Amino acid sequence: MAQDGPGNSTVIGGRYRLQERLGRGGMGTVRRASDELLGRAVAVKELHVDAGTRAMGALREARVVAQIRHPHVVVVHDVVEHEGVAHIVMELVEGGSLADRLATSGPLTPRETARLGISLLGALGAAHERGVLHRDVKPANVLIEAGTGRAVLTDFGIARLAGATTISEAGAFVGSPEYTAPERMKGAEAGPAADLWSLGVLLCTAVTGESPFHRDSIGGILHAVVFDEIEPPARLGPLRPVVRGLLERDPELRLGGPEAVRLLEACAAGEGVDGDGEVPEPVAVVAYSPTERATRPDAPLPSESARPARRRAAVRVGLVAALLAATVAGTVTATRLLGEERDPGKGAAGAAASAGPSFFPVPAASGNAQASPPSHPATGSVRPAPAGYQVVSDAQGFSLAVPTGYRRTTDEQRVIYRSPDGSVRIGIRVAPAQSGGPLGVMRRADANGAQTNPGLRDNKVVATTHDGLPAALWEFTWDGFTRAEGAHHAFDLCWEQGGVLYDVWVSAPVGRAAEARGHFDAALDSFVPALRGGGQP
């Protein structure tokens, strides 16, 4: 094994003379070296012997990574073994990492970050085309070449072929938890979308200076990644839509590479950015726990992309305990506890202005969404679905009609039914009754609308009724979820019934506002809350 001393002159592979150490990570130590055959400087990563089978697996996969050719992917020249230890010979990039840059010079501007993101998306795309997943995209693994500013994605040492598990045979989790996608945290199969999640965290870190999931413990980090509400901070400016899309917890709904590139290209060109690309403070907290939400009425409401799963309390406790125990042992042990089905008895969180409990139990239906004709809450008569719609009975305790083909998702506040193209959303929130009644709820939402719905305009709140009950309607236009979709128009009605606040909301691109209004009316006309004892809702 090579030594660290300045006079070290070990030659490996018959040609690479090792020199000073450049850095050390969990999987290996990187040294400068001289390729005596070609007369050039290179970097040599010595994989740690104690990495065992993981190191040998990384060596095998490095041979695959060596086939990736892209200007923003570090070039792998060779893979050799010396005294039974695996070494990867790579291009030497003169310059520090993005982590070094952030530590010494502070955050990047949104425009600089957009250009960085485009480079890294190109690198990831080239890797994914070869079936290779990076699995550890973070600032420390992005090198910034001195003089040119070229960003180079490096350290594919824990890369895996697409479809491979993220957990080794020994049960050790590999990667950096703050930058790891929720599906990998659950021990589930992860694809290219997992790298895109990590890129989303990196982009947020580049602008704010800190990972949005930074916490004081491994358990806290995991809870933030998997459960806490996600709201991209205001400082991201025009980068908010792309970060919001990349931090979608459901990998199937996560923003794809080509669309992310289009959004970043618009940011890099200066669209929506003033002057040199700076965006005003403050930097908001990105991930809010349910407790923080209940105690911070000024906190922004969660984004559409936030999708924390509701789980049994025992599942959460068991997960954190397992992770803390694993940390003491020197590894982060991944469990599959998070894969358990969500508790159908847990409803949506209350609004930001509510001082009530974070989770409000409502009667559960069988399954998440089953087709069944609901009954009118007062008369018991069936409310049939209009043509082109289907009636669903939702696990959160209500029934309504949604367009055929719409898919169910959730975020911290709502159950959401999304159109096949994802641009039209029908959301339903169930929460405790709140002070000021429906009108007060909507007026507070409107007052905070600029935070929760960037670009809020043409907004109004009016008192109305629903099924003879006092209600309030909030109608507004806003910038929408992504630049590609453009501005959205939204209709939001809330009312109270039997001590419960019900809120039905529809948002769609402004060009489809009439269609959205039709879906909104159909949802309200067919909506039936869960009935409680005595036949009263």
From CA 326, how far away is CA 52, in angstroms rounded? 18
Q: Give yes or no for a contact between 76 and 45, defined as CB atoms under 8 angstroms apart.
A: no
From CA 335, how far away is CA 339, in angstroms rounded? 9
Q: Give yes or no for a contact between 177 and 225, defined as CB atoms under 8 angstroms apart.
A: yes
From CA 258, how far away is CA 130, in angstroms rounded? 17
Q: Which two tokens stand for residue 326?
A: 């694993």
What are phi and psi for residue 4, nearest 5 degrees?
A: -95, -5
Q: Which of 4, 78, 100, 136 is catalytic?
A: 136
CB within 8 Å of 526: residues ≥ 6 apart: 374, 383, 384, 385, 386, 389, 391, 399, 400, 401
Sign of the C-alpha dihedral, residues 464, 470, 476, 482? negative
Place of tokens 């003169």: 94
From CA 393, how far away is CA 365, in angstroms rounded? 7
Q: Which two tokens stand for residue 94?
A: 């003169």
Strand-pairing partners, residue 51, are: none
Nearest in space to 115 (alpha carbons), one of 98, 96, 100: 98
Cis before 282? omega within 30: yes
CB within 8 Å of 448: residues ≥ 6 apart: 298, 300, 301, 352, 353
Nearest in space to 530 (alpha carbons), one of 506, 495, 502, 493: 502
> 136 catalytic, yes or no?
yes
Q: Which two tokens stand for residue 465?
A: 């009724």
Q: Tell which phi-psi region holds residue 376, choosing left (phi > 0), alpha (psi between -120 and 50) or beta.
A: beta
Q: Which two tokens stand for residue 417?
A: 């039914």
- DSSP characters for 368-387? SEEE---B-TTT--B-PPPT
Q: Give yes or no for a contact between 229 and 308, defined as CB atoms under 8 angstroms apart.
A: yes
Where in the sequence numbering do the catalytic residues fall?
A: 136
